[in-house]
Amino acid sequence: MTHLINATARVRDVIVIGASAGGIQAVIALLSRFPEGLHAIVGVVIHRGNHTQADWSSMLGRKSSIRVIEPVDGAPLTYGVVHVAPPDCHMRFVDGHIALDRGAKQHFTRPAVDPLFTSASVEFGPRVVGVVLSGSGDDGLQGLLDIKAAGGLSLAQNPLQAEHASMPEHAIVYDHVDAVLSVEQIGDALVLLAKSGSVSVPGPKAR
């Protein structure tokens, strides 16, 4: 059984991804599905403390054909580039640029997923797809709710395949995501949503 995501065929060319515990390998696997020249703006937040100062762009992009960077504050949002939140900074999409700040921690962490997701919903409305991968707690849930309220879409990693199931489980139960998929299926779906605006995915529609 399959179901159609985004029957209106509206192009969804802004992709925001959140992960925490167990999420690094999931993000690497997802990004490996993105082709060079993907016509989408991509933002990624993985929970990391200020003790993790290393630039993660090389690690996250090692199996990807798409460029991965840790942007500086004020950098322009660029199509075909994955923008990864630096350590100890919340990352937002504001007025076509990256905004970084060291505001109060959310969900006991900085960076947190919700600031990115919510800012993307405000900036780009129905063009946004939010994705929650492996992680503990419920960060990303409010952001997904904001994305859906603005007309965007939400996807969650199958909790049975996540190293830590809490974040995707919260998204599934409380956000009623548009689809629950493997990481590889999410990556392929995002490519099609950015290109043509619609995609059929396996399984019944998430409820």
Indicate the pairing of strand 179-181 with strand 153-157: parallel
Catalytic residue list contains 20: yes
Spatial separation of the C-alpha atoms in residues 79 and 27, rounded to whole Å: 18
**How far is the CA of 90 from the CAs of 17, 30, 115, in angstroms?**
14, 22, 7
Spatial separation of the C-alpha atoms in residues 34 and 44, rounded to whole Å: 14
Q: What are phi and psi of 57, to 5 degrees?
A: -60, -40
Q: What residue type is 17 in one-letter code? A: I
Q: Catalytic: which of 13, 114, 138, 139?
A: 139
Spatial separation of the C-alpha atoms in residues 148 and 142, rounded to whole Å: 10
Catalytic residue list contains 101: no
Whether residue 159 has a cis bond before it, omega within 30° of 0: no
Q: Catalytic: which of 20, 64, 119, 154?
A: 20
Residue 58 near residue 173 (C-beta atoms within 8 A): no
Catalytic residue list contains 200: no
Burial of 115 (0-12, 13-18, 19+ CB in 10 A): buried
Q: Catalytic: which of 47, 83, 90, 164?
A: 47
Which residues does the annotation mark as catalytic?
20, 47, 139
